[in-house]
A and B are shown apart, each in its own frame.
Chain A
Amino acid sequence: MFQPLLRIAALAASVFAVALAPTAQAQQLTGVTDTEIHIAAWGPQTGPAAPWGAVTRGTAMLFQMVNDAGGIHGRKIVFHPFDDQYNPAKTVAGVKELVEKAPGIFAMASGVGTSPGLAVKDYLMERGIPWVGPAAGSLHWVTPPQKALFAMYPLYADEAKLLVRHLVDKEGKKKIAIFYASDEYGENGHRGAMAELTRLGLKPAVEVSVNQADRDLKSHLLKLKDSGADAVLMWVNPTHAVITLKTAAALQFSPQWATSSTLSDAVMMQAITGGLWKNMIYASFGELPDADVPQVKKYRDAFAKYAQQGERWGVFFMAGIGFVEPLVEGLQRAGRDLTRDSFIKAMESIKGYKGVMGRVTFGPGERQGQREIFLARTDDTGTKVTQLTPWAEVK
């Protein structure tokens, strides 16, 4: 009577053995062959966050330029961008599919959004897959620092702090109102501004939040106006910024506006607000798109050659380049003998690297590569931009 039981046990054992085999095999996929390095990125090409998709396309252009210049130590970069619609369920599916299909993925580049990023962070880190330049200014990437995660995006809170400091110290504003989106981006800006106001011994004139779906912002703007604020910190997305300025104009409300790097694309903002984008103070974590420095000029010239029809040379597109420049630099430094460990070592050796972002420094315990930002301002016509402060780290 024990014979059937034994047989079942043997069967179970063999099934068990089969089960362990593929997991071992999956770990061997490194995404590097003799001639190719496979790199992936998610970014919303469709859906409500679609304007952010330009980040991924900027990254793609950078890799194309690298390949056309001869690749990296005899290898070409094969880039696998995919559209996740800013939907974490799609991000996870896309990442798992790419990572587990031969030849695998060597590293992730950029990757838009906090919640899509959070959904795959543990999966990537457990497998030791490097991820460079998440395109979202979140504290989650570096608290605690992860061995294989190299963050580039300076914190939104730092930008808000610098703006508030400037408004109070240099512009002499005393009643500062905070107008923020009720998402992670807005909350981070709100938090940073509150911290700085408290440090300066001030109270915000009023704090008003706006939901992503709202299209009628009159009561929001009335509240801001009613508070008697002389400056408003605006931490919203481009669409809401347009509605805000239009509604403010209709209510004859004209404070000093100050806003985040997300809205630092003065040319685009000027176009979509129908000319209301003037006298704006904003933070920026990268060189301005029309800056006359060689790092930017190089890409602006290439843009004419590589860009898809319908593409626009703007902040998001450029950020896609800037977030990933250190990855290319790291691949160069790692040399021909490329493994994930040698790549991480090479990344840690990057000190004071200057591309289109501020200076980038990584190290054994340092995973927030860029911390420098600066403030800029558009003039009364909205076309000329002047830099207000030099590149600096916010203390």
Chain B
Amino acid sequence: MDMKRSYYRDLRLFDTWPLGLWLVVCAALLALVPFFAGNYLMYVLGYIAINAMVALGLNVLVGYTGQISLGHAGFFAIGAYATVLLAKAGVPIPLALVAAAFIAAAFGFLLGLPALRLEGPYLAVITLGFGLTVENIFAKAEFFGGATGPSVPPFSLSLWPGFSREQNLYWLIMLCAGGTILAIRNLMRTRVGRAFVAIRDSDVAAACAGVDLTWYKTLAFAVSAAFTGVAGGLFAFHLGQVDPTTFNLMLSILFLAMVVIGGVGSILGPLLGAVTISLLNLKLKGLKLADFEQIPLAGKEIAGFISRHFMETGMANIQFIVYGGILVLIMVFEPLGLYGLWIRAKRYWRTWPL
């Protein structure tokens, strides 16, 4: 029932007008957050939005074009460093972010070149190497501030005078995230987007149909990198600090996990994935021995067993078990990720009670 019956329906920005309305309402609500919430909520929402930008950008590459990247932390770092260094040199922040997008895109283009001949694990290892190299160069070069990273200038952009720095930064992040969603949605409605999808479905067939593989594959890398770069620039201001070691392989893997957990090849999927992974990152906590004593019936015995056989000082690590367990559960039960769950739920209610 989700079939699109006409070509023009496929070209619409929003499938249906209620959907468009809902999106406007959501956007308005997010824009109003700084009026009633404190710094903490703004920080969490900003963090989610930045991750969402990366996930959406990475999805262009992974979900729509069918490539893989274990090096997006590298683009994220390039964006962060470019923005910070330009802003320190006196370039206005919006301009610095745009420049960061172009610089990251240029590196994306370069990384896309080997991708022309490689796929699967081969591409994975090359992108992984790219991420490591970027992390290493930033951490080693005096010019980039060495192991401490460059100091981040205060976020001076004022979108709405009279409001605090955090509030203005929040609005800028939300604007950029909203812009990313629109831009990618639009991109996928164009000739370029259809070329990406054709490459994913079969690159040989796409080439036969006249899609220039060289151009479009590298372009997919560049587009993906550009959004990630802007997100990196915003992240530098969001954190107020740049540390080269945080742009590591684990970050790249988590970016990929956002896309896959959410569901590749959609807009909603990476958004859901970014929300899930971000909240897991920020909110997961370990347990305490007292928590185990709460278990009904055998609480005391379980706690006793645990304190005999496990490190009490290591109990914070239970969060990794929970984290990994959630990843495994989602992927085992729904290969399409959270987006797949959403589709299934929708279908269930639409045909209810059949």
Interfacial residues, chain A to chain B (CB-CB below 8 A) = 15, 18-19, 22-23, 26, 45-46, 53-54, 57, 82-83, 87-90, 92-93, 96-97, 100-101, 114-115, 118-119, 122-123, 140, 182-184, 186-187, 209, 211-212, 308-311
Contacts and interface: CB of A to CB of B under 8 A. Distances in A.
Interface residues of B, number: 42
Of the listed residues A89, A97, A119, the one surrounded by the most CB atoms of chain B closer than 10 A to its CB is: A89
A310 B35 contact: no
B314 A22 contact: no
A309 B286 CA distance: 16
Given A184-B146, A309-B312, 16 more contacts: A46-B286, A53-B313, A53-B316, A54-B313, A87-B246, A89-B282, A90-B281, A92-B239, A93-B47, A115-B245, A119-B241, A187-B148, A209-B140, A211-B136, A309-B311, A310-B314
Contacts of B167: 19
B36 interface: yes
B44 interface: yes
B94 to A, nearest CB: 22
A93 B40 CA distance: 7
B39 A115 contact: no
Contacts, number: 112
B34 A115 contact: no
B243 interface: yes
Nearest to B249: A213
Contact of A183 (B35, B163, B245): B245
A308 B241 contact: no
Contacts of B158: none
Contacts of B316: 45-46, 53, 83
Interface in B7-60: 32, 34-40, 43-44, 47
Nearest to A127: B39
B40 A187 contact: no
B193 to A, nearest CB: 32
A101 B167 CA distance: 18
A186 B245 CA distance: 14
14 contacts: A19-B34, A19-B167, A22-B38, A26-B39, A53-B313, A53-B316, A88-B239, A89-B281, A96-B39, A115-B241, A118-B148, A140-B148, A183-B147, A308-B313
When A and B form their complex, which 6 residue pairs have the shortest distance between CB atoms, in order from nearest?
A: A310-B311, A45-B316, A115-B243, A308-B312, A96-B40, A19-B35
B34 A89 contact: no
Contacts of A212: 245
